[in-house]
């Protein structure tokens, strides 16, 4: 890839420039070598803020937290937030779980959802 920052590292810590076609073919590239890191997401959040979009920055910071959790867990949280999938108690538990997994921003989002869902009849 042209233009890639040679210092850029994947989630695994591996420099992106080391992820070559040959390495992929030899089976030496893991999923984490092709995954964005929380640090890179934070850097992108800073850029979004500079370009007049604090909401995009906030999203990228929530994303930086989610970068650390598995695909399955991401899917699970999403499902729980859909209308009438979870009780208020289940959403509280989910928020606690996110908090414990180092995702305080996402935990806050889930708590806020819980409060609105209760008021608007969107809990199970």
Partner 1 sequence: MTGPHEARPVGRVRFMDAQRVNLDGFAVENPELGLVALASPYDPEPGLVVEDGVVVEMDGVRADEFDSVDAFIAAHGLDLAVAAEAMALPDVALARMMVDPGVPRAEVVRLCAGTTPAKLARVLAMLRPAELVMAMTKLRARRTPSNQAHVTNRLDDPLLLAADAATAAAFGFRELETTVPVLADAPSNAVAVSIGAAVGSPGVLVQCSVEEALELELGLRGFVSYAETVSLYGTEQVFTDGDDTPWSKAFLTGAYASRGIKMRVSSGAGAEVLMGGAERRSMLYLESRCVSLARAMGAQGVQNGGIDGASVAGAVPRGVRELMAENVMVMARNLESCSGNDALMSESDVRRTSRTLPIFLAGSDFVCSGFGSIQRYDNMFGPSNWNAEDVDDYLAMQRDWGVDGGLRTADPADIAALRERAAQAVRAVYEWFGLADFTDEQVAAAVDAAGSKDLAPGDPVAVTHAARTIRETGLTMADVVTALYETGFEPEAERLLDMLKVRVAGDCLQTAAILTPDMRVLSLVTDPNDYSGPGTGYEPSPERQAEIDAIRQQRSVEDLRREQAAHARDALRPAGPATQGGDPREVVIGVSPATGRDIWVTLSGLPVVDVLRELLAGLEEEGCTARIIRFCDTIDLGMIGLSAARLAGSGIGIGLQAKGTALIHRRDLAPLANLELYSIAPVLSAADYRLMGVNAGRHAKGGAPEPARNPYTDEAIEARYHTKVVSLVAIERAHCRPGALPEELVL
96 binds partner 1 (CB under 8 A): no
Neighbours of 64 (CB within 10 A): 22
Binds partner 1 (CB under 8 A): choice among 88, 89, 112, 118 = 112
Closest CA to 95 of 65, 121, 70: 65
6 binds partner 1 (CB under 8 A): no
56 binds partner 1 (CB under 8 A): yes
Residue 62 contacts residue 98 (beta carbons within 8 Å): no
| Rounded CA separation 108/62 (Å) | 10
| 17 DSSP β-pair partners | none
Backbone angles phi, psi at 9, to 5 degrees: -120, 145
| Rounded CA separation 38/116 (Å) | 29
Cβ-based nearer residue to partner 1, 41 or 100: 41
Binds partner 1 (CB under 8 A): choice among 59, 92, 99, 102 = 59
Instruction: Tell the smallest beta-carbon distance from residue 28 to partner 1 (Å).
Output: 11
Cβ-based nearer residue to partner 1, 72 or 100: 72
Closest CA to 116 of 75, 68, 108: 108
- Residues in contact with partner 1 by CB under 8 A are 1-5, 8, 10-11, 16, 19, 21, 24-25, 29, 31, 34-37, 40-41, 43-44, 47-48, 51-60, 62-67, 71, 74-75, 77-79, 81-83, 106, 109-110, 112-113, 116-117, 120, 122
């Amino acid at each position: 890839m042209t233009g890639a920052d040679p210092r850029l590292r994947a989630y695994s810590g591996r420099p992106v420039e080391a992820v070559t076609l040959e390495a992929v073919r030899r089976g030496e590239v893991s999923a984490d070598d092709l995954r964005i890191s929380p640090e890179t997401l934070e850097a992108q959040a800073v850029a979004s803020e500079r370009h007049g979009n604090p909401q995009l920055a906030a999203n990228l910071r929530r994303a930086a937290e989610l970068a650390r959790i598995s695909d399955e867990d991401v899917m699970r949280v999403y499902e729980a937030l859909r209308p009438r999938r979870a009780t208020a108690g289940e959403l509280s538990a989910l928020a606690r779980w996110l908090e414990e997994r180092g995702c305080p921003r996402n935990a806050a989002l889930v708590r806020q959802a819980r409060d609105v869902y209760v008021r608007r009849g969107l809990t199970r």
